[in-house]
Structure 1
Amino acid sequence: MAELIPLPDPALRRARRIDPLWRHLVGEHLRRRRHERGETLADVAERAGVSVQYLSEIERGLKEPSSEILSAVVGALDASLLELTSGIAEDLRATAAAPAPARSAGPAAYALAA
């Protein structure tokens, strides 16, 4: 007979802070910087020496680039690794300081309680 494993209490999951993945933070920051410059994926990818597809995957947090690729992309955006990491740190500080949004009990919450 199979053992039943109880689901974690939803209140505990909400109380526990989950840090975002580094690749998501990097991708969001790179995309924001590219948009601020008014450039396309093709513009930046060509200067960085990577494919448009790969740069898109980096920006969407699907790929975790090597330090060499990351340096090339950041350089193609006329930035440095220091600017990238400090910008991400500032984003994280702002997110941590902001009050958590109120969460409503959606249909999934009722399904777990049933």
Structure 2
Amino acid sequence: MGELTRIGDIRRRTAAAAREPLWRNLLGEQLRERRLDQGRTLTETADAAGMSPQYLSEIERGRKEPSSEMIAAIARALGTSLLDLTWQVADELRRSQVVALRTAQAPAAPQRATRAEGTVRLALAA
């Protein structure tokens, strides 16, 4: 029989996945940012990389997981290296991880008592 999964385990995995972005999303953001900084269109960049503009668009939106050969071709088309591009994506991943850790370690805000709860506490304290 299969192993039972606890609701708490599912919530923790889901929360961790929500905090940590996917590599393909960060790569796509980096590619689009570089392309736009150069004032280039999808079509121009895709032609230079040897792919369709639709495929490049899907990569930029994080919908496709391109091969290393495709990533290298896009990097060349944007006048950068695979190493530089990978370094930038890794830096973004590190930054997002630091933010997630800080958020997870931040103390929870104290909850404010409602007026009725405060009255009950005062009555119990007396």
Q: State whether TM-score is above 0.5.
A: yes
Distance 2:64 2:12 in 1: 30
Counterpart for residue 47 of structure 1 = 48
1:28-79 deviation line (CA, Å, top 9, x unaligned): 1111111111111011001111100000011111111111111111100001
Counterpart for residue 17 of structure 1 = 16
What is the one-letter code of the residue matched to 2:57? S
Distance 1:11 1:47 in 2: 44
Give the TM-score of the pair, scaled to structure 2: 0.65
1:1-26 deviation line (CA, Å, top 9, x unaligned): xxxx8744897467x53232221121
Aligned CA-pair RMSD: 2.7
Give the TM-score of the pair, scaled to structure 1: 0.71
Distance 2:67 2:13 in 1: 32
User: Once the 2 structures are TM-superposed, how far is the Cα of residue 84 of structure 1 from its aligned partner?
Assistant: 0.8
Maintained 8 Å contact 2:75/2:82? yes
Counterpart for residue 100 of structure 1 = 103
Residue identity (%): 48
Which shifted more, 33-42 or 19-28? 19-28
Counterpart for residue 110 of structure 2 = none
Which shifted more, 89-98 or 76-85? 89-98
Q: Which runs of 5+ in 2 are unaligned?
A: 107-126
SS at match of 1:96: helix
1:24-39, aligned counterparts within 5 Å? 24-39=25-40
**Number of residue-to-residue matches in the alignment:** 98
Q: Which runs of 5+ in 1 are unaligned?
A: 103-114
